[in-house]
A = this chain, B = another copy of it.
Amino acid sequence: MTEQERSLFEAPPIAEQERMVEAILFASPEPVTVAELERRMPHGCDPAEALAYLRRRYEGRGVRVVRVGDGHAFRTAPDLGHLMAREVVETRKLSRAAIETLAIIAYHQPATRAEIEEIRGVAVSRGTIDQLIEMEWIRFGRRRMTPGRPVTFVVTEAFLDHFGLESARDLPGLKELRSAGLLDNRPLPGAMGRGPDADDPDGDEAPGQTELFED
């Protein structure tokens, strides 16, 4: 075996092995056993030793290397647990009724309950509105100055944040939805757009190519 060949089969320095263990433990969703480390690391490595170095390095730090069953994992230091007490949220999809109600409010705000019902064609349950208000995605707007002075609903900052919008006006119009394939491409009898920009025939993006030929 030549010098060069030997070096190809030589294990990396222990400091490098320590880095490897560090990265693997960090990225792994489960605690990792020494055997598993050995399988993953280059031939000739000594994961148990690297692990010992790593464990010592993290002593007293904000996170530590701990043994969990047969495996090893990073865990935050117990004395800092109070900082981790964050609200972890289990996300579940909103119901169809809630999404539709929300969409109508976003596109037509301020919208009254009667308007929402007119557009959806069914009654809006009280729970749906309550849920959206509780989520802080909608709030009460001004009362409509029509008989009965109904309350209106508008979307909130939190709503815009969640959907990555700067304003509700940035929601794509019907025409854009259609061109993105999100809306069936059927002819509209007496189409009512949702605003002047939605159905403005000039609002259509001229495909780049045709522009070459204008002069």
Which A residues lie at the B interface, using CB under 8 A? 18-24, 26-29, 40-41, 60-63, 74, 76-77, 80, 83-87, 106-123, 126-127, 129-130, 139-143, 147-151, 156, 164-172, 176, 179-182, 188, 190-192, 194-198, 200, 202-215
Contact = CB atoms under 8 A, between A and B. Distances in A.
A190 B211 CA distance: 11
A27 B84 contact: yes
Copies of this chain assembled into the complex: 2
23 contacts: A19-B61, A20-B80, A20-B83, A23-B77, A23-B83, A27-B76, A40-B83, A110-B210, A114-B205, A114-B206, A115-B208, A117-B207, A119-B208, A122-B208, A122-B209, A126-B179, A140-B164, A143-B169, A149-B197, A190-B215, A191-B215, A192-B214, A195-B209
Given A127-B181, A149-B197, A214-B188, A141 B170 contact: yes
A176 B114 CA distance: 12
Nearest to A197: B149
Nearest to A123: B207
A170 B194 CA distance: 20
B117 A209 contact: yes
A162 to B, nearest CB: 11
A97 to B, nearest CB: 13
Contacts of A119: 208
A169 B130 contact: no
